[in-house]
Amino acid sequence: MRYDRGVGNREALIQGAKQCLTERGWARTTVRDIATAAGVNHAAIGYHFGSRESLLVHALVEAVEELSSEVAERARNGTSEERWQALIDTFGTHRALWIAQLEAAVQSEHSPELRERLADAQRQGREGLGGSVPLAVLSGLMMQWLIDPDEAPDGAQVVIELHAQADGA
């Protein structure tokens, strides 16, 4: 996909990187893939971002922020069950993005910039979800849905089990 000429190279690169993250994942996205998707010379990556990793960090953070806004809008004024289901639904509709986040988490072991950006995203996630426990539940749900969606819980089951845990505590 080539982006509109009215879009600057920097924005085209971010859009191209987001496309590559969802189509190829973090580990398999190359500089050439991003440049082709953006319709620009690969040297523009170095000029605008310094490295492939820095560009992918920007693209991943932007994509996750967009997804968070989408889920927040959908879940606004919903019940606990509806809010959890809105998040769970993204494991199917945005599967590649969730997988890219997992790949990025592994890559953050070797990239202080990536680690800091992911840590910031976690801080925002804790704030948006209401604490560390909901974030931990979300992470666990993501793994269950990515690995074994047929057995993973839905929003209603999550709420029932969270209440059962709270009652037993």
Distance CA 113, CA 108 (A): 8
Backbone angles phi, psi at 51, to 5 degrees: -160, 165
Name the nearest CA neighbour of 120 among 56, 58, 53: 58
Could you list the pLDDT tens digit for every one of the 169 residues in the chain? 555 445 699 999 999 999 999 899 888 999 999 999 999 999 999 999 999 999 999 999 899 889 888 888 888 888 999 999 999 999 999 999 999 999 999 989 998 988 998 899 889 888 888 899 988 999 999 999 999 999 999 999 999 999 999 888 6
The per-residue pLDDT for 69 is 87
The per-residue pLDDT for 81 is 93
The per-residue pLDDT for 169 is 65
The per-residue pLDDT for 166 is 87
Distance CA 56, CA 20 (A): 9
Place of tokens 């000029």: 47
Domains and CATH numbers, the chain: 9-168 (1.10.357.10)
CB burial of 11-31 (b: ≥16 within 10 Å; e: otherwise) equals ebbbbbbbbbbbebbbeebee
Name the nearest CA neighbour of 158 among 128, 127, 137: 137
77 token code pair: 């004024």
